[in-house]
Amino acid sequence: MKYTAVALAYSLLSPTTAFQTGTTTLIIPTTPPSPPKFPLIGTLPDFLLRGGVSSLSQIYTDMYTEYGPVFSLSLMNREQLIFSDPRVYDQVFKAEGKYPIGAAEEVSTFNTFYEKNNLKMALKGVARGEEWKEWRGALEDDMYKSWEGYIPTIAHVCRQISQVAGREDVEFETFLSRAAFDMFTSVMIGESLQTTDGDVATVEDIEFVKATQAAFDTTGKLLSNPLEAMFGGDLQGEFDVNMEKTYRFANRMNKRAAEEASALQKTVTTENNSGESSESKCPISAIKSKFASPSFVERLVHRGKLSNDDIAEIAAPLLMAGVDTTAYVMSWLYLNLASNPEAQTKLAAELKTVLNGADITTKEQMDSLPYLKACIRESHRLTPATPIVVKMLDKDIDMIVPTTSNDKPNAYHAKAGTRICLNLRGIPMDPQYVDNPTEYRPERFLPEAIQARKGTPSEIIDHAAFADPFGRGKRRCLGSNVANAEIMILAARLFQDWEIALKEDNAEWKAAQKLMLKADPYPAMRLSRRV
């Protein structure tokens, strides 16, 4: 097909990367390089020889080196077009239209579970079109947009978590999963279940955290073994059992919170005899919430747009995702800082200077900690929780890609339904853009370093697409702002209170892809009180 004016189509590029071409130049679509493809199975043989799903992160790194910034794969009849330049990927976002398709649709195990159990509200969260828009619209104000209101709540829970962080009765990786659970339940229902404290946590609460971890890990295995899912083997059975445990617990907890909030709201409305239900006068927090701000469930009840059953069903998948995704990101942050004590010392010094023992309770405090932000950003560059970002469109798209010379740019055509991916293991690990890319150096992302890169090819690593693991655009993770706050607030608290080190200096692990990337095995940590 014909292409429109190149200069116009690629005007999103900065001047340093723009190319010279006439406004009437047309480009013939380029066939991207690819491993050998075979009928039916596509590039699967090459993929398996490289290690398969468990080696996904390294595979995308190696393919970038071998094939360059654009390549294609075909796995199990699914076409993938992989780009490394996020500015090219921006063209996909511009073409999304009113109803973008979310990456969650790709996680077929969860979606099949929702369908099998007729979970209508959960299905809306992974749907397309007006159903998804309705779901997002019902939740966005009280989660995505109102995240700053939860900061004091998160800070309170992080102080509780830090008080028990030095115990050795639980592995540190498990401790972080429980910490993620405690933080997000406090946001969700206005109460931390304190699973990090073995003296307080109930068996049921601990089992929930275990079940969510198992469900996520098993999902990764099922997605790489579709025949197992198709024929209902042991792995599928394990997933179903853990999903049922997880969903039953989360649904019951959130429904109870919604019913309590509804009852309290009725009581206050009756006492006031006003019939008012304005958000600014939310009566629930004054009676029930243990924190300064009403919980997510309380806010939803107060708005009155959803039934308690719908709130419970909506909240359950959010709670599951809020626990595991955040835990994966945190596990890499603490491992990178434990493995690089000089960076940890610099972080502790910044925290002492800025906070001097206090908690983060405002966004302004978060913004006053550039080294902590740089530590988190560098951890994501070096060890992203997932090696690619996936988008799909319901229509064909033509993408223009610059070349290194002043020749015509390349163009690539993707049919509707193609998995269009951004490779997070390409440019962020390329020494052409990042000095010593295999080293953990938070200084790369301090404000002065970012400023120094402006106008150079290396400034591409500061693109928003590389900033965090929660996606971009209209379908960015609903809880992303809360999750980023949790990660930062807990790190500020723990690294003020504790020095975190590897128990064994020569500990070894590899990056293994489950549903997300994790260190396997996760090394044991030693926590010592910071003096």
Tens digit of each residue's pLDDT (9 = 90 or more) over 496-528: 999 999 999 889 999 888 778 899 999 999 999
Taking the whole predicted model, whether its pTM rises above 0.85 is answered as: yes
Residue 16: pLDDT band with limits 50, 70, 90? very low
Q: Do the domains 6-103+387-462 and 107-325+469-506 sit in the same CATH topology, yes or no?
A: no
Indicate the CATH number for domain 6-103+387-462.
3.30.43.20
The reported pLDDT for the residue numbered 279 is 43
The percentage of residues in the chain with a pLDDT greater than 90, rounded to a whole number, is: 45
Q: Identify the CATH class of 107-325+469-506.
A: mainly alpha
The neighbouring-strand residues paired with 412 are 399
Arithmetic mean of pLDDT, 111-140: 86
The pLDDT tens digits for 35-86 are: 999 998 899 999 999 988 888 889 999 999 999 999 999 987 788 999 999 9
Considering 21-35, 37-51, 90-104, 312-326, the range whose residues carry the highest mean pLDDT is 37-51
User: What mean pLDDT do residues 381-402 have?
Assistant: 88
The pLDDT tens digits of the residues spanning 238-294 come to 888 988 988 888 888 888 888 888 888 777 656 555 545 444 444 444 444 555 689
Strands 525-529 and 498-502, sheet pairing: antiparallel
Choice between 235 and 490, residue whose per-residue pLDDT is larger: 490
Helix axis angle, 296-303 relative to 308-339, nearest 10°?
Answer: 150
Please report the pLDDT score of residue 271 as a whole number.
Answer: 55
Summary count for the chain: helices (H), strands (E): 20, 10
Domain map (residue ranges) of the chain = 6-103+387-462, 107-325+469-506
Is there a binding annotation on residue 477? yes
pLDDT tens for residues 72-84? 999 877 889 999 9
Across 20-24, 193-197, 444-448, least confident range: 20-24
pLDDT (tens digit, 9 = 90+) per residue, 348-375?
999 999 999 999 999 999 999 999 999 9
| pLDDT on residue 108 | 74
Decide: 277 and 304 in contact? Cβ < 8 Å. yes
Q: From residue 206, how far is each of 37, 45, 72, 80, 186 by CA, in Å? A: 46, 40, 42, 39, 16
* pLDDT band of 448, cuts 50, 70, 90: very high
